[in-house]
Amino acid sequence: MTDLGYRRDRRRFQWGGFLLRYRGPVMGVQVAWYPRDELTVWLVKLVDGDFPPYPVSIGPDTALHYFDLGDLEAISGRQRQVTQRQLYSLPTDETVGALADSLRDCGAGLLGGDLTQLPLLERRIRDRTRTHTIAWLGAERAHELGW
């Protein structure tokens, strides 16, 4: 990340895992892994230069700031180069390298401050959330919640 002009913002090691944050002028990157959770790479739209809180739940009007690298890969037409098993395992150089390459390839625009991909990412997240809410709670309850 430092090769892109980002600076390390936070480094936390706890519960057998880690959370790393890098901050740029408009976007940030958060990488986290904890045992029994998958390795996640989030592109984060900063608010007033800071990492905003992660939302507890997503509703139709929730401001979205955290975007998973997997979603960015999907809208970019890039096939994920790591398996779910690799993401849930202790991160290796191979896994981290593949995710870093993908971040550079798919996220170059966002990391450089070009936010034109955000509406596609937001639509993808809201569509997925709506689908899951309907499946989980039923169409009537989802409609009551604004979906």
In a domain, 71, yes or no: yes
pLDDT along the chain (147 residues), means of 10: 77 91 95 94 96 92 96 94 89 92 93 94 96 96 93
In a domain, 142, yes or no: no
pLDDT given for residue 2 in this prediction: 59
In a domain, 134, yes or no: no
In a domain, 88, yes or no: yes
pLDDT given for residue 139 in this prediction: 96
Structural domain harbouring 82: 2-117
Q: How many domains does the chain have?
A: 1
pLDDT given for residue 5 in this prediction: 77
Helix, strand or coil, per DSSP, at residue 14: strand
In a domain, 47, yes or no: yes
pLDDT given for residue 3 in this prediction: 65
pLDDT given for residue 10 in this prediction: 85
In a domain, 144, yes or no: no
pLDDT given for residue 55 in this prediction: 87
**Residue 111 structure tokens:** 């990391």
Specify the DSSP element, H or E, that contains 32.
strand 27-33
Residue 93, number of CB atoms within 10 A of its CB = 7
pLDDT given for residue 11 in this prediction: 86
In a domain, 17, yes or no: yes
What secondary structure does DSSP assign to 40-95, as a single string?
A: EEEEEE-BTTBPPPPPSS--TTPPP-EEEHHHHHHHHTPPPSS-HHHHHSPP-HHH
